[in-house]
Amino acid sequence: MSSDSVITHVVAALAVVVAASYALGALARRFGQPPVVGQLFAGIALGPSLLGLLPGGVHEALFPSEIQPILNALAQVALIFFLFAVGYELDLGMLRGQRSVTTVSVSGFVLPMLLGAAIVLLLPGPFAAANGDRPTDLTFLLYMAIALSVTAVPVLASIIKDQGLAGTRPGTVAMASAGVIDALSWPVLAVVLVGGVHGSARAWAVKAVLLVVYVLLMLFAVRPLMARWIGRPGTPVSRQVPVAVTVALASAWATNALGLHVIFGALLAGVIMPRRPDGTPDGRLLRPLQDTGGLLLPMFFAVSGTAVVLDGLRSSDLLLLTVIIAAAVVGKVAAGAFAARAGRLPWRESLLIGVLLNTRGLTELIVLNVGLQAGVIGPRLYALLVVMALVTTAAAGPLIRLLRHPADPLPAPREGHRPGGGTPEIWSVPEALPGPAPAGPVPDPSAGGEPAPRA
């Protein structure tokens, strides 16, 4: 295939992927689902499992093997921008003095991990069969534990907003806990990949040392330089964004060279990015990266969907899928609900927090792609775990509406109230704080808008 033909196919594939992703994402929203559910399904539909069933070789004509490396590269760039933004927005300072968030975070991370490891230990034969007879060793055990423990922070934020939970106690606690859970999950996944599937102890130690050196270099060399550059008086955002993009791409390249995935370098670059004096990320710097990543993310869904081969599944895999979904749901919902209840939250709000933490979506898909590329999981188990991610994410909306029945809505949190006289929890933040009273007369509504004297 000539270079002109490759470009033509890539452009055509991009048009189809973006259009399908947008259309199915909008359709999912009409059915009360987050758009990512439709986008995930669009990726699967454009793969060999559905599009490949059409006669005439439509899939091969639209996605020939010659353009796959370019599509993969675009998907990785999308992940770099996306996870850079996730790391830049991550703020663990919210944990200080928030007992309920700490409890829910630890419980929502540890219990799903234990269940993920437990089902592998209880069913080593079915897992080995579904995973192409790969060994169910410590690497696979840790990977399955992580696969069941993650929560999709961006998808969760979208669900909280769409369901009207923004600013409420369940929404705030779930969002803060999900950020902490993912912050704990990425290092464990890095440990799994550093060791490699068949890595020796010496190779693991060398990679671990190099990784520690790299993290220290980013924290104590790159971060101060970035702070000095961004903090220069009069520096326009047009000069800040290229520097941030360079740091994100270079960091992703470095972690990939260390035997990890590009996502770890992108996430670390976002974490070390200097913030504004009030501790919040600079929207002028963040928004261009989010917009670019959002435009390219459909390619990631398409590449991920291509790896889902549903016709390769067997009837025996249905039982394993049921076990995986049950462990995933029970681990998150039970962990979040009981931990929140232990913090003296009502049962309705506690269950709602557990349901919110069960949202996996895009973050789960990233973890699954990393495992597939590293050879930890094979195509059959990958397909099962993708279905699990779709089911748990799609279940969030209906379960939230069930818990928030119109006839029995959740009470709005009261500012400054503490249940049972315990430790202060996270409460809703008012839209605007009262400031000093303005000078001059105040309009009196009862007098037809005429000013009334101020008391």
Specify the pLDDT at position 405. 55
pLDDT at 2: 86
Counted domains in the chain: 1
**346 CB-contact burial (10 Å; exposed 0-12 / middle 13-18 / buried 19+):** middle
More confident residue, 90 or 268: 268
Burial of 264 per CB tally in 10 Å (0-12, 13-18, 19+): buried
400-422: per-residue pLDDT in tens?
A: 888 875 444 444 444 443 333 33
Euclidean distance between CA atoms 356 and 354, whole angstroms: 5
pLDDT for 118 beyond 50: yes
278 is a domain residue: yes
Residue 328, pLDDT score? 94
Look at the block and give the residue holding tokens 């003095």: 97
Nearest CA to 313 out of 390, 387, 206 is that of 387
Residue 217 lies in a domain: yes
The CATH code of the domain that includes 365 is 1.20.1530.20
pLDDT of residue 291: 85
**455: its two tokens:** 């008391």
199 pLDDT band, cuts 50/70/90, is low
429 within domain boundaries:
no
| Owner of token pair 């369901």 | 163
Is 260:194 a contact under the CB 8 Å cutoff? yes
Candidates 417, 407, 361, 404; CA nearest to 171 is 404
Q: Domain containing 286: what range? A: 3-403
Confidence tier at 98 by pLDDT (50, 70, 90): low
Rounded Cα distance between 333 and 189, Å, is 22
Structure confidence at residue 301 (pLDDT): 84
Q: What percentage of residues in the chain have a pLDDT greater than 70? A: 84
Containing H/E element for 152? Answer: none
What is the Cα–Cα distance from 75 to 297, expressed in whole angstroms? Answer: 7
The region of weakest confidence among 117-121, 234-238, 328-332, 449-453 is 449-453
Q: Which residues contact 99 (CB under 8 A, 6 or more apart)?
A: 343, 423, 425
The reported pLDDT for the residue numbered 249 is 94
| In-domain check, residue 443 | no
Q: Which is more confident, 454 or 151?
A: 151
Please report whether residue 38 resides in a domain: yes
pLDDT at 445 exceeding the cut of 80: no
Task: Name the average pLDDT for the chain.
Answer: 81
Q: Tell me, what's the pLDDT at 195?
A: 59
**Whether residue 95 has pLDDT greater than 80:** no
Residue 196 lies in a domain: yes
Selection from 276, 260, 214 nearest residue 371 by Cα: 260
Q: Which two tokens stand for residue 126?
A: 């079915």
Has residue 355 been placed in a domain? Answer: yes
Q: Which long-range contacts (C-beta less than 8 Å, at least 24 apart) are formed by 74-78?
A: 74/14, 74/296, 74/299, 75/296, 75/299, 75/300, 75/302, 75/303, 75/304, 76/252, 76/262, 77/296, 78/293, 78/296, 78/297, 78/299, 78/300
Tens of pLDDT, residue by residue over 134-183, are 888 888 999 999 999 998 887 888 788 778 887 788 888 888 888 888 88
Query: What does the DSSP 8-state code read for residue 149?
Result: T
Position 359 in a domain: yes
